[in-house]
A and B are shown apart, each in its own frame.
Chain A
Amino acid sequence: MIARIRRGGLPYLLLLPALALELLIHLVPMVIGIAMSFKRLTQEYIGNWGAAPWAGLDNFRLAVDFDAPAGRALLHSFAVTCAFTVLAVGLAWLLGVTAAILMQDTFRGRGLLRALFLTPYALPVYTAVITWSFLLQRDNGLVNHVLHDQLGITDSPTFWLVGDNSFTALVITSVWRTWPFAFLMLTAALQNIPRESYEAAQLDGAGIRRQIRHITLPALRPVNQVLVLVLFLWTFNDFNVPYVLFGKAAPEAADLISIHIYQASFETWNFGSGSAMSVLLLLFLLVVTAVYLLVTGRGRRGGHG
């Protein structure tokens, strides 16, 4: 209070480094990216992108022309990403909330179990995914060994990393490493629920089920709103899991949007169309986020920054 009257410029000075970096790495590239999407930016112009001719809306027209191969592939990739996101976020949240609620009361070994559950989240993404790609190998992986050799469920060893099964592989790997984050956030949120609420409910004769439904879940609502949004954005934009799991050529059934744009851009070096697809992706995410915030009602009281 005292300082703000004396030194009007200080806050700006404190913000300057952060602002400069955000401009250099986030905002300027974003503006360039939007500009690029209107250019015919092919390999010959990479070193001198300003010279690339304007393409008008051609890049966008190509991306959403669902009769042409490029547009159809993008639409397919978008559909795969939507299905993947819904499944992976749903499962990650479900596992996270289940574990958080079951571990709310202390019991012997709880600390150890919590450390175990958090480990996949602490692992660098690529080591987690590499391990799963080993588990899912057709000839020497654990999954086929259990399913085929030990339990005899499948007639022949399954290909997990090529073909349609790659979608399942992607979901499992993604859930394995994201659910601990949901668990972490929800555990933290549960610690803020006063014990007295439960004690009062018990005096009123409410069982565990009713306590969860009427005390725990409502108290988690604010955290859930943020958590689900964050999980959605991370999962929808996920590049790491498919990139490390499948290498540069993701199977069609697991062709997530980020990897699709990456491949389309760096295989053909057509950055113009890659940027157009990225801009479309951004628009989609903006619309979904805006609708989500409106529906969950957080937008109205988000004034305090």
Chain B
Amino acid sequence: MAEAGTSPTAPPRSFIWTRRVLLTLLALFTATPLYVMLSSSLKPLRDVTGAFRWFPSHLTVQPYLDIWRTVPLGRYFVNSLIVASAATACSVVIAVFAAYAVSRYRFRGKRLFTVTVLSTQMFPGILFLLPLFLLFVNIGNATGVALYGSRGGLILTYMTFTLPLSIWMLVGYFDSIPRDLDEAAQVDGCGPLGALLRVVVPAAVPGIVAVAIYSFMTAWGEVLFASVMTNDVTRTLAIGLQGYATQTEVYWNQIMAASLVVSVPVVAGFLLLQRYLVAGLTAGAVK
């Protein structure tokens, strides 16, 4: 600060004060719910059923032990983990292939493909929900393949949701990798796929990481389809977490503890890798 104050291009004091005030307000707005989440998760039950308290009457980790018993949180956790990981892995692989085709080849229908795929991104989820529900039920009735209520159905759905934006981000990223690189690899005897796997993919790791975070976060947080497409066995965290609220008593301390437990992995991953996401998003947006 002091150093900036003496530099010739330093912002004027009025700006610095405006900045301090506004950013403090924004930080309070952002941090208060996070603080409540953390502090309430360490409170005994009576602290969260009576009038609100800023601080726990005494600190306890009991909520973190109880959350696994009140609802089958462990099962929901495993379900979410399976669904989100599988959807992410499949979506990334498929998006890499598709983006490579779009970035490196000219072919008939390319524009139709990109426009159609991108425009599905704007369609309301509710429009797909009813038909997809019917489609899954009817496929199940006709072939015996249980998509409705299964993890497989949810994985298929989530991987498709993230495809459009993933392809778009990756095309932007691949376009920024010089074509000479993969052409040189092809001259050296790699096939087009060899060039993709040995040259383009390694060069595009940041973009691929970005797409993977985006896909995982989407699948981990999705509510609408999870509310309809899962049953007691396959229920994911998004719906399972509401179990604490339908009991005769609302265990707010446990809800906050469970929220924190399911949030920490994605938030930590996101904050560690967010610069890749920024790079990926801008690579797409710059075009």
Contact = CB atoms under 8 A, between A and B. Distances in A.
A56 interface: no
Q: Which 5 A-B pairs have the closest CB atoms?
A: A122-B270, A25-B160, A145-B52, A29-B131, A127-B259
Contact of A187 (B104, B114, B123, B278): B278
B247 interface: no
Most buried by B among A8, A49, A134, A244: A134
A118 B115 contact: no
Interface in B16-40: 18-19, 22-23, 26-27, 29-34, 36-37, 40
Nearest to A211: B11
Interface string A139-152: 11110110001000
A17 B36 contact: no
Nearest to B277: A184
Interface stretch (A30-38, A57-65, A66-74, A82-90): A30-38
A124 B33 contact: no
Contact of A10 (B114, B192, B267): B192
B199 interface: no
Nearest to B163: A18
A218 interface: no
A18 B167 contact: yes
Nearest to A35: B131
B223 A21 contact: no
B132 interface: yes
Contacts of B138: 47-49
A228 interface: no
A205 interface: no
Interface in A120-134: 120-128, 130-132, 134
Contacts of A258: 124-126, 224
Contacts of B274: 118, 122, 184
Contact of B127 (A49, A199, A247, A279): A279
A67 B248 CA distance: 41
Interface string B178-213: 010001001100001000000000000000000000
A74 B149 CA distance: 30
Given A130-B241, A243-B227, 5 more contacts: A4-B107, A22-B120, A22-B164, A134-B252, A239-B223
26 contacts: A3-B186, A12-B107, A21-B163, A22-B160, A26-B123, A32-B135, A36-B130, A105-B4, A116-B34, A117-B30, A121-B270, A124-B221, A128-B33, A140-B52, A176-B29, A184-B277, A185-B285, A208-B11, A239-B126, A240-B224, A247-B242, A258-B125, A258-B126, A282-B123, A289-B122, A305-B111
Nearest to A98: B22
B69 interface: no
A139 to B, nearest CB: 7
B135 A208 contact: no
B101 interface: yes
A222 B11 CA distance: 26
B114 A305 contact: yes
Nearest to B166: A18
Contact of A124 (B110, B160, B238, B287): B238
B132 A2 contact: no
B259 A36 contact: no
Contacts of A261: 126
Given A21-B94, A32-B134, A102-B22, A237 B282 contact: no
B127 A281 contact: yes
Contacts of B18: 102
A119 interface: yes
A139 B49 CA distance: 8
A241 to B, nearest CB: 9
Contacts of B220: 124
A134 B111 contact: no
Interface string B68-101: 0000000000000000000000000011011011
B125 A135 contact: no
B256 interface: yes
Nearest to A184: B278
B238 to A, nearest CB: 5
A11 B94 contact: no
Contacts of A119: 30, 34, 267, 271
B150 interface: no
Nearest to B246: A247
Contact of B27 (A108, A116, A243): A116
B36 A142 contact: yes
Contacts of A132: 33
B186 A131 contact: no
A17 B94 contact: yes
Contact of A14 (B9, B100, B130, B252): B100
A47 to B, nearest CB: 6
A288 to B, nearest CB: 10
B89 to A, nearest CB: 13
A188 interface: yes
B101 A15 contact: yes
A2 to B, nearest CB: 6
A30 B156 contact: no
A176 B33 contact: yes
B186 A123 contact: no
B23 to A, nearest CB: 6
Contact of B98 (A14, A123, A236): A14
